[in-house]
Structure 1
Amino acid sequence: MRSHTLVPRLLLLGSLTLTAACSSGASEPSGKAPTDARPDSSSSAVETVDPSKIKGLNIVNDNSERKSCPFATSYPDVPGAQAMTAAMKKDVRGRLAAFRSGACTAGAGRAEGRDLNISHQFLVASGDVLGVRLITQDHGAAGSGLSTRTYWYDGKAGAYRTALGLVATGSRNAFIAALKDQLQGREGVDAGTLHDAFAGRRDRTAVLDDMAFTADGGLRVEFDGGEVGTPAAGSYVVTLSKKAITPWLSAFGLRAQRQTVRPGGPLDLGAPHVPDPAVPTHTASGDDGTDCKKVKCIALTFDDGPAAPETAILLTSLARYKARVTFFTIGQNVAAHPDLVRAEARAGHEIGNHSWNHPDLTRLTPEQIASQLNRTSAAIKAATGQAPTVFRPPYGALNETVRSATTMSPVLWNVDTEDWKYPDAAKVAQIVVGKARPNAVVLMHDIHATSVEAVPEILRILTARAYRFVTVSHLRATL
């Protein structure tokens, strides 16, 4: 994370206050898309899945807040779809390795100002069909740095399918011919490029790696920049109508199309019994009457959740000491685990906004920033009944454009545990205890099991030193 030096009390108080949609058969380059373009896109391949209905869903999160190598990644782990999860995991790790070798190593080849963001979007999760899109944005890379890929799971066959698996083997030549027909003549596309893109069987699978059904049963195919045209032209989208695509679909493709248009019930991929996750039922008794002018207060803050089961474990630890904290939540995780966010609020904790999928907000337009924050606030309000009043910008990246895009108050920190760097509970606890002082705002992450494991020791030692654990907004109000 970006470093923040210790500041006098008055300065601390100041910081605390602080695609183109294509019609059937049409195509056009979508150009440079923002980090949040896919989740918020008004294109025909809209997201309609409520991830909280996917039983046993686990969102696999990882991040690095190191200034020279910032990244945030997420992908879903769905019971019964292990092969698909393994494919996503392999791809995410591969992209991370490439990013680290190009942006995070000293010497030649290091690219200043890069950050990597990999987020996810559910396309369909119904019956025996699961579809997920991963959206990768590598700011500072060549071209737009944007790429997308879809992953499919066939519960009936118990098999992972690539995007091209939606199309029957015997129909693929006709399908590709239709795509070429729609792409030819577009700016930046020539016959040679198209031929090379689809020349071999392996090339076809790699190029046709983002395919999803529209709400009316058409098929939307997206090509990353440089795949079928010049990199400068950006990505291209082709949408084929339901009438055109249906005869070419595989048996799985037909089921995926049907489950997208008319979801047939809860997702069932044949996994063994998946127990309901434990959600704490702790309830705060009234408002916090702590006067931070008279006693030693400290504000513990937790970013990037909620996560299962880590957040639930954390809530139980906090309840034992009647400690209140502030959670800065990621919107896509709130959507997946609204029950945990409700549990946070019920226990008297503060819920803050940490964007939808953790991009560097200072790299986005005002409209994109507002989308990231507003969508997350809406998810928090849907879960708790109250919209957040505070937000923490990812990586602590804050400028006037970000401030002006929201009425929420930004919250930074002055004790950085760097717990993402140290997967060691004892080390994290030692850092917090060693740096604790009255009115400090401490940065931690509840997506890391070792950070959650460190909390009981932090609470035990600091309670013995007469500290009271309060939310950021309570600290502001009483100083």
Structure 2
Amino acid sequence: MVWKTWKRQLVSWCAVMAVTAPLTACTSWEELGALKGGRERLADGLHTIEPTWIDGLTVAEHSVSVDGTTITSKYPVVPGATDFTVDIRTTMAERETEFITQGDGGELTQHAEFLVASNGVLGARVISQYEDRVDASTHWYDVASGEALPWTALLNGDQAVDQLAARVALALHKDHDVAADAMPDGLPTPQDELPDAEDTEPALVDPEAVWKSAEKHEDSPLADLGFDAAGDLVVSFSPGEVADNEVQVTVADSEPLLSRFGRSARQAVRDGEESLELPSNTVPTYTIDCDRVPCVALTFDDGPGADTPLLLKHLEAYSAKATFYVLGQLTEGDPDTVRAAMEAGHEIANHSWKHDNLATKSGNAVQDDIEKTWKAIEEATGVTRTTVRPPYGSYNETTQASIDYPLILWDVDTLDWQHRDTEKTIEAAVSGTRPGSIVLFHDIHRPTVDAIPEVLSQLHAKGYHFVTVTELFGGRTLEPGVAYTRRD
């Protein structure tokens, strides 16, 4: 991990509830208390804002404190900007995984501060602090295309990245007394003169190309790139690397380096309008990209049971989100427990009314069974309908044609219902899990519930993120009646 010491005071965030699915238990931006209202212009340095004008903006929290490791990540959830929200949260998740798997323990805290939110552009800076070291990078969003973009999207191709690196290296050498052999890693040896930047037309951003460029420049010291209030480019560094924490490149010098999107972002910063039109006010249904970080969906069948409340406490300790495939009959009899699971951020889905083998039923009978179960779930929780798990994993063509929801099976069967042995359940879950796995448990058995703390501990140590089924498949379209066993 490339850590940087950050000179600006970290934004004060208040305690918020863990993110739920859907994301309803979040703190609104207005409630954070640290906000001063409107924009903040730093006299000399990166321009930041407090975008109270974004409708429905909230802050969600992922918090874990176990085994000598503490993680607190607070991230914005922007209605109508799913890809932006996902990129911010996933960047933090990547750093969490790296921090955990290093095995050194300690405390990692993360948050984001906004750089711009107007004129069709969103920008934010993700800040991750471990002891006195900080890693920071900027992230962008083009409202018109709905694309989340990395810092390289501000620049007019890889050649512009190289030219900016050369210009920054020269500025560090001449203006900040950094020796040529003491440049921050990733910067070239400074040259006495810079070649003139080509006066080329600023290019339209190709999302695939700029993400490849960001991957190519993964360790670049330019990744913490933004603008000051005047529109100068600002690159932040560690005080251990340079005399000052920031290097600014003037508008005139940076103009030839900026892409068309980069110029739009700069203009939005300079204009400072306090308004942003997004295409919808839809709250993202997922916030993490399971193609970028290792995810696992823990699923629990046949409940609610007597030990489900204890299970919820075990999951809470790891800020873990799970999916409960409940029976309609039991949900009707114990709506409070199902509601408690929903309010804790877990997903509630359909496992039939009373665990009949749906493959033995007629099409109409299957439809009636699933509909009756959904109504019991809705009565208890009010949640949106998502997926169905057929009892025993049994289905046929009639079943598939009669269920208007995706069918979710599993790729890791702990066989906990059969052996009812805590140690065997732990072994099966941990050894069988791979990134994208769906693990089958039954929360009606106490040995299974007793296994969960150790399952969570071991998978957490491997850097896994515990997500719901909907989050696991986030960004993908699941077809009604089609069976899925894992995310590939």
Is this a same-fold pair by TM over 0.5? no
TM-score, normalised to structure 1, is: 0.44
- For the pair shown, the structure with the greater C-alpha radius of gyration is 2
TM-score, normalised to structure 2, is: 0.43
